[in-house]
Amino acid sequence: MKLKSKWLILVGVAVLAGLVLIFGLNRKVQAQHFTAKVERGDIHDVVDATGTINAVITVQVGSQSPAPSRN
């Protein structure tokens, strides 16, 4: 039983060290935010685009009722 406890502790420490490495070293660069003073004036930049917009992910939506419906 004592040997089993040592192995469980060793595995637990290894898993914890792995999680620290995965989540600790995999930090992404934080987003940068810029601010500017509000100015009044005419709009001088226009963005034109043509094409088709397609969904990246599609999901199917539905529902179920536990009782039969009454028509």
Task: Say how far residue 46 (Cα) sits from the centre of its chain.
Answer: 32
Reference 22, options 11, 31, 10, 14; nearest CA is: 14
Domain around 6: 1-25
Tens of pLDDT, residue by residue over 37-48, are 988 988 877 778
| pTM of model > 0.85 | no
Alpha-carbon distance 47 to 29, whole Å? 29
Tens of pLDDT, residue by residue over 50-60, are 888 888 888 88
Total count of domains within the chain: 1
Is 9 inside a domain boundary? yes
Is 19 inside a domain boundary? yes
